[in-house]
Copies of this chain bind each other. A is one copy, B any other.
Amino acid sequence: MTTALLTDHYELTMVRAAMGSGTAFRRSVFELFPRRLPEGRRYGVVAGVGRMLEALEEFRFDEETVAWLLEKDVVNEQCAAWLRDYRFGGNMWGYPEGEIYFPGSPLLRVECSFAEACILETLLLSIYNHDSAIASAASRMTAMAEGRPCIEMGSRRTQEQSAVAAARAAYIAGFASSSNLEAGKRWGVPTGGTAAHSFTLLHDSEEEAFAAQLKAQGEGTTLLVDTYDIENAVRTGIKLTEGRLGAIRLDSGDLAIQAREVRDLLDGLGAEKTKVIVTSDLDEWQIAALRGAPVDGYGVGTSVVTGSGHPTCGFVYKLVARADSDDPRAELLPVAKKSTNKNTVGGRKFAMRRFDAKGRAEAEIVGIGTPPTGDANDRQLMVPLVENGTIIGREPIEKARERHEASRKELPKAALRVSKGEPAIPTIILDHEGDETYNPYLHSAVPTNI
């Protein structure tokens, strides 16, 4: 299935007009970046890189698509001919998936002709803005869970394809598993699930329902115990398994109090190994609040798939440099608009994270025109993703997950506070001579729009 029309109308009218004015094939540099973090967040998490590379490969204008664009006069014949042959032939560098980011981090740099880069804008932003919003929220949750497993189960609270992407992003950010089967099949995310209240209500008694579930899923299953009366349900589950029940799930009420009561009840019944899973309206604050409770796992729904209050990242994609002719040797000139409150820093960016001698992150260094230089402790953040149209940035999802865990561990401890705060490390922008220069991302008060 082509991804070519997951695109704003104006990307194509711009290409059409630029072909008319002879500027469409000027060599250009576009960058995708955040102007800021959501209010109070201390760091963000890059996700969507792997999905973007897949979507890029499927970005093809087939004949049916081109015919529709011509019929609607979105493009003319000249533009249509170019679209039919479209294959991204440029270069992309970017932060690898799972990496942490801060305001102004140049997450993706696209170098090719204006036309080639322009028509990717909407698709790139859609994928990065969504997936990174989920991963950024999910990472706060797994940080608060302090090693106890978080289970993503929010598919029903987001669009059906977003659900698949959300499961993937949450897994990268440390979730243990997901309820979403398609994410399991497509991306290898571990999936799990046992039963809902409807399963208990379907049977003539709770005991019959539990017996049916145990028969099908074994004693290691998780029984949902709050359909009628929690204490009765727990006793039934323990009786049926002679104390060997895998886990019980609580999905309503005051979870801290109930988890304690259920833990005591289980222990009293000799079921010390039976785990307690909680699943009602959890978010990073609830998870933090349950640290003291005897809870063995968290099922998280709505809040993770909707980015816990921040369903999009507000990344933008801006032309930062371009040639003044079609000549491939023409010099790239930095460009930037000057609108109120939406300043962009012109010029091609590079990025490095600076670490202290103990390996603790100190600053995000963004270099304009030239990579920042550091010492052996520091890490260059941008890796090649696409080289002359060939995708070279693919990697297993597990690698992104490991990278995220490692990158989060390098942050100052304050980064993992659930309370609102400033970005965990400052972003420093260096001009082409390596001197610190004006940083608009520190001072922009107005939220970004398209």
Contacts and interface: CB of A to CB of B under 8 A. Distances in A.
Contacts of A336: 201
Contact of A156 (B26, B129, B159, B193): B129
A238 interface: no
Interface in A66-120: 68-69, 72, 74, 76, 114, 118
The size bracket of the interface on A is 35 or more
A212 B23 contact: yes
Nearest to A320: B201
Interface in A321-370: 322, 324, 335-342
A125 B202 contact: no
A208 B155 contact: no
A154 B129 CA distance: 11
A286 to B, nearest CB: 10
B158 A199 contact: no
A23 B203 contact: yes
A250 B11 CA distance: 18
Nearest to A23: B202
Interface string A387-406: 00000000000000000000
A231 interface: no
A20 interface: yes
Given A74-B181, A158-B129, A337-B227, A10 B196 contact: yes
Given A72-B184, A198-B318, A228-B337, A155 B21 contact: no
A378 to B, nearest CB: 32
Nearest to A222: B10
A131 to B, nearest CB: 8
B156 A13 contact: no
Interface string A12-33: 1110111011010010101000
Nearest to A303: B449
A219 interface: no
A121 B338 CA distance: 49
B202 A6 contact: no
Contacts of A129: 156-158
Nearest to A166: B159
A280 B339 CA distance: 11
A130 B130 CA distance: 14
Contacts of A8: 153, 155-156, 179-181, 193
Given A253-B340, A450-B157, A322 B202 contact: yes
Nearest to A73: B217
Given A182-B6, A194-B13, A201 B335 contact: yes
Contacts of A319: 197-198, 201-202
Given A1-B1, A7-B155, A158-B162, 13 more contacts: A5-B182, A9-B184, A20-B212, A23-B212, A28-B202, A153-B450, A159-B161, A197-B339, A201-B335, A202-B335, A228-B338, A251-B449, A252-B342
Interface of A: 1, 3, 5-14, 16-18, 20-21, 23, 26, 28, 30, 55, 65, 68-69, 72, 74, 76, 114, 118, 121-123, 125-127, 129-131, 153-165, 179-182, 184-185, 191-204, 208-209, 211-213, 215-217, 226-229, 251-253, 279-282, 301-302, 305-307, 311-312, 314, 317-319, 322, 324, 335-342, 446-450
5 contacts: A8-B179, A13-B193, A14-B196, A126-B160, A302-B312
Closest 6 CB pairs of A and B: A10-B193, A21-B212, A9-B193, A17-B216, A125-B156, A161-B161
